[in-house]
């Protein structure tokens, strides 16, 4: 349910890749805002295909998108997202998608950020030379519901075809590149409107954002009272020794700096001995 803090206000979603399709319905329902988009070139802050390098980290990039949108539309309530793809930070053998959503209320001087990290991504790329390699790649890339990019070579954007979603275009582009250069580089199109898997992650992040926005500080009632840290140490059910499992979450208010520690956030006061370094070394 909405906390009425933002009810009736216009929320600008800074995107050119149709992310409003999943973001707007959730925030309009949960916050009572009226979402709209504008013609903003968010690619100027970086592209997945490398024509324009992203010069700043994901949060700064999302913030820059918000500030540009605010300036263009003279709007004081803005949201932007930024995705990053590559090796998972702890499981390096697996690809991951990290989506950041940043919500800025200039009128109330509030900035709320959420992250969603998942293995649910088709992110991939490979140099190919044969039809068999082409067909094997697209088979594992959820084509044609997910777009494909073909280019002359990795990190070379002088000849690139994006948003390929049909077989005729796929084969035609591939054959041309092979005839000209002997090989091609194929990759998944990670732009949201060509990647339903990524769009689902953005949707999940939006639910998380709505929940955080509707979490009010117990002291000053400002939205965005959220987790900033966690503590391990949930005791083992057998030996009572502290385990690596989560004992508590630390919540903080960005406005008044009120801190609250919530114990046993996962609903367990003891951990299974199989996760204990003493009982199961």
**Bridge-based pairing state of the strands 95-105 and 125-128:** unpaired
Q: Is the pLDDT of residue 2 over 60?
A: no
Angle at 44 between CA 42 and CA 49, to 5 degrees: 90
CA 116/CA 143 separation, integer angstroms:
24
CA 24/CA 270 separation, integer angstroms:
40
pTM of the model: 0.89
Are 66 and 81 in contact by the 8 Å Cβ rule? The answer is: no
Among 214, 219, 245, residue whose Cα is nearest residue 232 = 245
pLDDT at 205 (0 to 100): 97
pLDDT at 50 (0 to 100): 67
Structure-derived torsion over alpha carbons of residues 49, 43, 200, 98, reported in degrees to the nearest 10 = 70
Q: What is the pLDDT of residues 154-199, one digit of tens each?
A: 989 889 999 999 999 999 999 999 999 999 999 999 999 999 999 9
Average pLDDT over residues 30-41: 90
Among 65, 110, 107, 109, residue whose Cα is nearest residue 83 = 65
- Going edge to edge, which strands form the sheet with 226-232? 226-232, 246-252, 259-263
pLDDT at 213 (0 to 100): 95
pLDDT at 128 (0 to 100): 97
Average pLDDT over residues 32-41: 90
pLDDT at 143 (0 to 100): 97
Q: Is the pLDDT of residue 86 over 90?
A: no
CA 40/CA 221 separation, integer angstroms:
33
Q: Is the pLDDT of residue 47 over 80?
A: no
Q: Is the pLDDT of residue 31 over 70?
A: yes
Using 50, 70 and 90 to split pLDDT, how confident is the model at 1? very low
| Token duo for residue 146 | 């997910």
**Bridge-based pairing state of the strands 184-188 and 110-118:** unpaired
């Amino acid at each position: 349910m909405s906390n009425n803090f933002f009810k009736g206000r216009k929320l600008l979603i800074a995107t050119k890749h149709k992310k409003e399709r999943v973001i707007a319905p959730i925030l309009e329902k949960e916050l009572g805002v009226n979402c709209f988009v504008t013609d903003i070139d968010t690619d100027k802050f970086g592209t997945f295909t490398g024509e324009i390098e992203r010069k700043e980290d994901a949060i700064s990039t999302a913030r820059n998108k918000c500030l540009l949108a605010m300036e263009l539309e003279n709007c004081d309530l803005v949201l932007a997202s930024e995705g990053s793809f590559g090796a998972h930070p702890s499981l390096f053998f697996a690809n991951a998608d990290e989506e950041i959503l940043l919500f800025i209320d200039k009128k109330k001087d509030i900035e709320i950020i959420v992250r969603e990290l998942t293995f649910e991504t088709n992110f991939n790329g490979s140099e190919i030379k044969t039809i068999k390699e082409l067909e094997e790649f697209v088979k594992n890339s959820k084509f044609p519901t997910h777009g494909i990019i073909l280019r002359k070579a990795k990190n070379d954007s002088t000849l690139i075809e994006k948003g390929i979603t049909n077989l005729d275009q796929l084969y035609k582009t591939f054959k041309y590149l092979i005839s000209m250069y002997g090989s091609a580089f194929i990759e998944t199109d990670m732009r949201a409107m060509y990647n339903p898997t990524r769009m689902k992650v953005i949707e999940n992040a939006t639910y998380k954002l709505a929940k955080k926005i509707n979490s009010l500080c117990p002291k000053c009632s400002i939205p965005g009272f959220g987790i900033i840290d966690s503590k391990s140490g949930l005791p083992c059910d057998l030996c009572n020794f502290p385990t690596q499992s989560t004992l508590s979450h630390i919540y903080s208010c960005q406005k008044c700096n009120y801190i609250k520690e919530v114990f046993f956030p996962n609903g367990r006061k003891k951990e299974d001995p199989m996760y204990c370094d003493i009982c199961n070394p």
